[in-house]
Amino acid sequence: MAELAKAVVEKKQVPDIIVNNAGTINKNNKTWCVPAEEFDTVVDTNIKGTANVLRHFIPLMIEKKHGIIVNLSSGWGRSAAAEVAPYCASKWAIEGLTRSLAKELPPGLAAIALSPGVVNTDMLNSCFGSSAALYQSTEQW
């Protein structure tokens, strides 16, 4: 991420908007049965990945004096469900991170957490199985 930020600075092309959309989910499992490595992958991708983008690009946006940060969350960032506790916890973290960030940013910058709703993706299929087909596809969204 540092190299990407450096390349952006060298080209003098600071983004007006950042959309943090990377995410992963654990395999359905009771919290105490989720392997540590799998839990870490969810945290590393969903929380630390977002924080790394922010760490490298917000200083550039502050210098430019404007920008919008959109961190993708989930309905499970405001609720909970059985067997996806690591994912829920990571999205609760995104909600808190984003709200705190919004309070820290100077005038001209803003941060929001966006929950796009339930969309039929490979990730949804991994936890909903065949019932994922009941939800709109990415093309419909």
Report the catalytic residues: 87
Scanning 19-131, the segments in alpha helix (DSSP H) are 36-43, 49-64, 85-104, 122-128
Q: From the centroid of its chain, how far is CA 43? A: 10
What crossing angle do the helices spanning 2-10 and 49-64 adopt, rounded to 10°?
20
Q: From the centroid of its chain, how far is CA 132? A: 21
In terms of Cβ atoms closer than 10 Å to its own Cβ (0-12, 13-18, 19+), residue 95 is: middle
8 A C-beta contact, residue 111 and residue 67: no
